[in-house]
Amino acid sequence: DRNHIYAVIKGAAVNNDGAMKMGYAAPSENGQAQVLAEALELSGVAADSLTYLEAHGTGTILGDPIEVAAMSQGLRTGTRKNGYCAIGSVKPNIGHLQIASGVAGFIKTVLMLHHKTLPPHINYKRPNPEIDFDSSPFFVNTRLVSWDVPEGQRRRAGVNSVGIGGTNAHTILEEAPATTDRTGSKDPRPRHILPLSAATGGALRDLVSKYHDYLDCHPGISLSDICYTAAVGRTQLSCRQAFIASDTAQLKSRIKGFLDGDLMSGDRGTAPENTIKTGFFFTGLHGYDENASAPGGGDRLDKTHPDFRNRLDNALSGDGTFGECRHLAKGYALARTYLSWGIVPAILSGQGAGLYCAAAVSDIFSLENGATLAMLRQQLKRLLEQGTPPDAPEACALIDQYIATATAIDYSAPNIPVMVPAASTPDDDIATARFWISRLTSLIESVSGTDSIKGQLKAPPIEQTLWLTINSDKHPLWQGVLRELARIFVHGGRVDWEAFHNYYDCARIPLPTYPWQRRRHWVDAPGNLGMAENSGLPSPDDLQGTLTPLAQKAVEDLSFYRELMPRMDHLSQSYIRAALDHLGWVREPGRQFNTAELARQLDIRNRYLPLMDNLLGYLAEDGILADRDGSWEVMPASGETSGPDASALRETYPGAGPQLSLFHRCGRALAGVLRGDTDPLHLLFPDGDMGTAIQVYQTSASAKAMNKLARAAILDILSHLPAPRPIRILEIGAGTGSTTTSLLPHLPPDRSEYWFTDLSPLFTARAEERFNQYPFLRSGQLDIERPPGEQGYPTAYFDILIAANVLHATRNLSAALGHAAALAAPGGLLLLVEETTPQRWLDLTFGLTEGWWRFREDPLRKTGPLAPVALWQSALAEKGFPEFCSWSTGDQALMVARAFAEKPEAAMPISGERPTTGAKNDDSIPSYGRDLMLKFHGASSRDKQQAVVTDYLKRTVSRAINVAESQINTHKGLSRTGIDSLVAIELKNQIRDQLSVELPASRFLDDSTIETLAADISDLLANTACEAGEKTTAPSAGPYPLSQGQQALWFIQQTAPDNAAYNVAISLRIISRVDPEAIRHSLGYIQNRHAQLRAVFHACDGKPSQTIRPKGTPLLFKEIDASGWTEPRLR
């Protein structure tokens, strides 16, 4: 089955000795020994051939000696050797997985056999004294060593597992048989297709990224094996990507292009499997040349795929009646090959002679009959095109022969419906001579291609058909076939990949596994509002359906930039050379210099040294200079030409007119800028006019495309929200307002907040004037490089943050994203528009300003402010935006990221109520720690210092257990004062926070007294500077983890919130006058004394924790007057 074999299971045995044990949970020596002996017998291997044993190994005083004795007894049935078999357990590495512990040990042992390595048994210092390893077959391996065995012997291991109640299991494993090294294995196919899929767009991107890393680590791996394993060994999910490559280097390059946002690097689609219908369209004859060689002769399908070649040979092995239409056999063979790969069309069609091929594929008649009719029709058509009248004898003879042939055919009902191009439905008459005779009435077809056919089809199932064109007059090419397969796959079509790879020597190999997205799937208890105010905000993946087609259309619309950019680069060179010549640069071939030397020589300002490095680098790229390890060498002139005329470029590419105008203005003034004579801001905003800049960001073709994408994203997000749901948007660095302009008209004014922010008051003032017709807009200054809370902005508040071409201009990208995360509400979305590819024209325009170079101390960016999509994704994930999708239009990308859906501080109690603040806990006194330290270090003797600490501890403990300070005995063990574990943790944290002294919580639970603690703390503080007490955070209220029992009860509460089975109700009947206030006071006293009674339970990402409400929290107390109740009711 071509699977990768890690190990061989030689045998396994299971028994149960529960009836013979002294206790339900106790292990049994005899039962374990018997199951090992039985496993050895079933495996047919010698006991001394086992050189490793994976033990159950719980580490218990009783269990381990019994297990080692049992395993020794089991092996002694076949050997008396000592110390030859290593023993270990996976539990020190990962803990006890309870019912999964056996399979964990099994997996570990299989991997050991696969890697031929014995890992160390970690944390092993000395043996259990009850285990006599010296007299046993075992030794404990404590270091990583190669698993060596004598020549001719195979590595074998046993895996022991013990279940509570008496079940014992043992498996004997052996290393896998040797396989042929497949590194660099040959495959005749010149190209391969890698189909990948995932449940969401984010998971798909993560999967592709894992393949990129995999190729990095396995440079010599067989591409054929990679593609085969990914195709047949993975479930096909709805979000799909297909890559076509000739080798692993090309595959890695195309994967990188995908990760960088290049939509042209592969085929991509989103559709559930089997939702798309396919159709085969067979073309007619257009000057077929039987002897013409196809482009890339080795790429011909008949040279590449043996199944197609066999089908073609079989099709051509008839009685020789094909004549000049024998090439129709190629279309027939290709269709049959597609069918063998599981691609079953819902409909067939064809143009001219191709219709006869379609009928043959549908089994209406044989291919030979179809070829004969097509040949006669083709000959008649040629006569008519030459001007021969239809009633001429030679024409009549062909017509008679055609009619006789059509009449003699034994027709069958079509297996697949066949449609005539001009018809709207399949013709019911198609399996009759009458239909095929009628084909002579119109020899010149009006339908010319597949697109026409799609327009003709009216039935809804057919309108959604994905057509595969099968050219009858050309040699099928392997690359073309792969492209069709990719198109079918990404649109949700089914491909039988096993059949596709059937004729080649492929093997399954270990490949990257599925990248689980780790989303929260917790069901909130009734009444738990959770993050309800953020419900409805979609994930970035949810926007794929809307934005992916728009991005693909934008790539097509902006394709002229691919032609324009090289011309702008050439123009950049002209501007750079002209500026340096103007400043007095004399280019002497062979002369070497560094950037700083040239800057001093030409009187260029120091602030432009980074820009000069880039400009000289561009000249080196163009061969004018050569990079000589930190210096530049002038190269001999080689026919340098001036760049294209900027005016001509504006006329040729009007969509880029604003960029070209700005580029020309700045490029001509480059010399003045470098020398400090020209202010670059006057070039960007001449006389304060922002017109050109607004055009660059608003009316240029690229700006329109990105603004359209951003607008579509906002509208799609709004469509997910319920009608009354308010939407809060903040735009960072809104600048000229181009993005704002495209969004504001589409926001619901009655439920929108739009915060227009920028660092410059000039932009915010203009926004107030420009957008005054939108009452829901407010403007203000925001420096995203500073914490927004310090600037008066609400944190964890905004549903959507927008940053268009702004965050790259920050000093530290990571810090800026962290401040953006602080603004985002839980589950909020961040929309980024950024240039992701360095471009020369940007350096010669915006690169003239100092702000462009602020990135230089950013560890994430080394050579320029722009960052690729992959860097943005990783930086966003690190700062709290784990979900991410991007859409690229070439050099720009729209990126959408979502913040964590919940934050611990926003967690809600399971009752649905927010934790009540209650009375102020005055344990937190901001200056108390510092004052205490001053008092301590000001004491004149060691005894007085200890007295200061004793008074502090006495006061702190009295408040913690709600007992008067006068009742605290400093010589009495604290464990007898009523301190429980949570109070101990509170005391530990308070001392740590106020005194910077770390004590274990256990010190408050043993026999330590306040006096002994004070002595220990005094010793620790004696050499501590006074400043150590400056940390004055309040005693920690948590969160604390739940105990195992609490976790079990928590889970039951979530799944059955109304179940009272685990709640203990106490009923007291007092036969006397009842004082409700006294009861309330007493219960409140108990609640204040025991922190656990003030615990509130929260969930974050499905993980429960508990926090402690402060003392004085109002008691939940309900009073019901039962004075009129009858005795039965009271009972």
- The predicted-structure confidence for 210-265, as pLDDT tens digits, reads as follows 999 999 999 889 999 999 999 999 999 988 999 999 999 999 999 998 887 766 66
Please give the Cα distance from 529 to 912 (Å, whole number).
6
Residues 899 and 803 in one domain: yes
First to last CA, the chain: 72
Residue type for position 1001 = A
Q: Does residue 696 contact residue 666 with C-beta atoms inside 8 Å? A: no
Question: Does residue 934 surpass a pLDDT of 80?
Answer: no
* 469 band by pLDDT with thresholds 50, 70 and 90: confident
**Which candidate, 820, 735, 808, 722, places its Cα nearest to that of 770?**
735
Distance (Å) of CA 908 to CA 824, 915, 1097, 1107 = 19, 8, 8, 11
Most confident stretch, 79-93, 180-194, 652-666, 975-989: 79-93
Determine the pLDDT at residue 198.
Answer: 92
Determine the pLDDT at residue 924.
Answer: 32
**Domain containing residue 806: CATH number:** 3.40.50.150
* 907 band by pLDDT with thresholds 50, 70 and 90: very low
Question: Does residue 419 surpass a pLDDT of 90?
Answer: no
Determine the pLDDT at residue 470.
Answer: 84
Residues 265 and 202 in one domain: yes
Residue 614 maps to a domain: no
Task: Dump the DSSP string for 662-716.
Answer: HHHHHHHTHHHHHHTSS-HHHHHSGGG--HHHHHHHHTSHHHHHHHHHHHHHHHH
Question: Does residue 1092 surpass a pLDDT of 60?
Answer: yes
Residues 855 and 947 in one domain: no
Question: Does residue 1 surpass a pLDDT of 80?
Answer: no
Residues 427 and 452 in one domain: yes
Residue 832 maps to a domain: yes
Determine the pLDDT at residue 1100.
Answer: 66
Q: Kindly give, in sequence order, each residue whose CB lies less than 8 Å from that of residue 859, ignoring residues fewer than 6 positions away.
A: 814
Render pLDDT for 532-549 as a digit per residue (tens, 0 to 9).
344 468 889 888 888 888
Q: Other CB atoms closer than 10 Å to residue 921's CB: what's the count?
A: 16
Determine the pLDDT at residue 273.
Answer: 54
Residue 378 maps to a domain: yes
**Phi, psi for residue 779 in degrees, rounded to 5:** -130, 155
Please give the Cα distance from 637 to 587 (Å, whole number).
9
Strands 85-88 and 138-140: parallel
**Residue where a domain terminates, one of 111, 145, 175:** 175
Please give the Cα distance from 665 to 657 (Å, whole number).
12
pTM score, whole prediction: 0.53
Question: Does residue 972 surpass a pLDDT of 90?
Answer: no
Question: Does residue 325 surpass a pLDDT of 90?
Answer: no
Domains identified in the chain, total number: 6
Determine the pLDDT at residue 139.
Answer: 96
Q: Is 425 exposed, middle or buried (0-12, 13-18, 19+ CB in 10 A)?
A: middle
**Which candidate, 325, 324, 442, places its Cα nearest to that of 384?**
442
Please give the Cα distance from 252 to 545 (Å, whole number).
27
Q: Does residue 883 contact residue 1101 with C-beta atoms inside 8 Å? A: no
Please give the Cα distance from 571 to 792 (Å, whole number).
46
Mean pLDDT within 925-940 = 61
Residues 258 and 284 in one domain: no
Helices (H) then strands (E): counts for the chain = 40, 27
Q: Other CB atoms closer than 10 Å to residue 343's CB: what's the count?
A: 22
**Is residue 466 helix, strand or coil?**
strand
Residues 266 and 336 in one domain: no
Determine the pLDDT at residue 300.
Answer: 80
Question: Does residue 690 surpass a pLDDT of 80?
Answer: no
Q: Other CB atoms closer than 10 Å to residue 9's CB: what's the count?
A: 13
- Asked whether the CA dihedral 697, 703, 706, 707 is positive or negative, the reply is positive
CA atoms within 13 A on the CB side of 552: 11
**Phi, psi for residue 1103 in degrees, rounded to 5:** -105, 120
> Is the backbone of residue 796 left (phi > 0), alpha (psi -120 to 50) or beta?
left
Give the residue with greater pLDDT, 666 vs 1116: 666
CA atoms within 13 A on the CB side of 987: 27
Determine the pLDDT at residue 365.
Answer: 95
Q: Does residue 779 contact residue 767 with C-beta atoms inside 8 Å? A: yes
* 1109 band by pLDDT with thresholds 50, 70 and 90: confident
Q: Does residue 353 contact residue 472 with C-beta atoms inside 8 Å? A: yes
Residue 563 maps to a domain: no
Q: Other CB atoms closer than 10 Å to residue 796's CB: what's the count?
A: 16
**Is residue 76 helix, strand or coil?**
coil
Determine the pLDDT at residue 1103.
Answer: 72
Residues 1048 and 1011 in one domain: no
Determine the pLDDT at residue 1034.
Answer: 39
Bridge partners (DSSP) listed for residue 1099: 1104
Burial 763-791 (b: 16+ CB within 10 A, else e): bbebbeebbeebebbbbbebbbeeebeee
Residue 637 maps to a domain: no
Q: Which domain holds residue 1001?
A: 928-1030
Residues 138 and 256 in one domain: no
Task: Dump the DSSP string for 486-525.
Answer: HHHHHTT----HHHHTTTS-----------------PPPP
Q: Is 44 exposed, middle or buried (0-12, 13-18, 19+ CB in 10 A)?
A: exposed
Bridge partners (DSSP) listed for residue 138: 85
Please give the Cα distance from 796 to 321 (Å, whole number).
79
Q: Does residue 228 contact residue 194 with C-beta atoms inside 8 Å? A: no
Residue 639 maps to a domain: no
- Is the preceding omega at residue 904 within 30 degrees of 0, hence cis? no
Residues 270 and 335 in one domain: no
Render pLDDT for 580-631 as a digit per residue (tens, 0 to 9).
999 999 988 999 999 999 999 999 999 899 999 999 999 998 889 998 888 9
Bridge partners (DSSP) listed for residue 752: 727
Residue 155 maps to a domain: yes
* 137 band by pLDDT with thresholds 50, 70 and 90: very high
Determine the pLDDT at residue 919.
Answer: 30
Determine the pLDDT at residue 638.
Answer: 66
Specify the residue for token string 């005995």: 969
Structure token digits, residue 1036: 């920690």
**Is residue 1004 helix, strand or coil?**
helix
**Is residue 883 helix, strand or coil?**
strand
Mean pLDDT within 961-986 = 74
**Domain containing residue 952: CATH number:** 1.10.1200.10
Residues 21 and 128 in one domain: yes
Please give the Cα distance from 959 to 545 (Å, whole number).
59
Question: Does residue 292 surpass a pLDDT of 50?
Answer: no
Instruction: Measure the CA dihedral 108/109/110/113, to 10°.
Output: 120
Identify the weakest region by mean pLDDT among 55-69, 610-624, 821-835, 1078-1092: 1078-1092
Question: Does residue 889 surpass a pLDDT of 50?
Answer: yes
Determine the pLDDT at residue 181.
Answer: 63
Burial 364-393 (b: 16+ CB within 10 A, else e): bbebbbbbbbbbbbbbbbebbeeeeeeeee
Distance (Å) of CA 877 to CA 535, 881, 903 = 21, 5, 15
Residue 73 maps to a domain: yes
Question: How many residues are there in the chain?
Answer: 1131
Task: Dump the DSSP string for 888-900.
Answer: E-SSEEEEEEE--
Specify the residue for token string 């074999």: 5
Element at 731 (helix H, strand E): strand 727-732
Determine the pLDDT at residue 926.
Answer: 31
Residue type for position 427 = D
Please give the Cα distance from 716 to 948 (Å, whole number).
65
Determine the pLDDT at residue 525.
Answer: 44
Residue type for position 913 = E
**Domain containing residue 69: CATH number:** 3.40.47.10
**Domain containing residue 505: CATH number:** 3.30.70.3290
**Which candidate, 1053, 1080, 1034, places its Cα nearest to that of 909?**
1053
Determine the pLDDT at residue 778.
Answer: 92
* 452 band by pLDDT with thresholds 50, 70 and 90: very low
Render pLDDT for 1035-1051 as a digit per residue (tens, 0 to 9).
456 677 776 667 777 77
Residues 836 and 849 in one domain: yes
Residues 201 and 215 in one domain: yes
Q: Does residue 289 contact residue 297 with C-beta atoms inside 8 Å? A: no
Question: Does residue 453 surpass a pLDDT of 60?
Answer: no
Structure token digits, residue 362: 């549908």
**Which candidate, 594, 627, 639, places its Cα nearest to that of 612?**
594
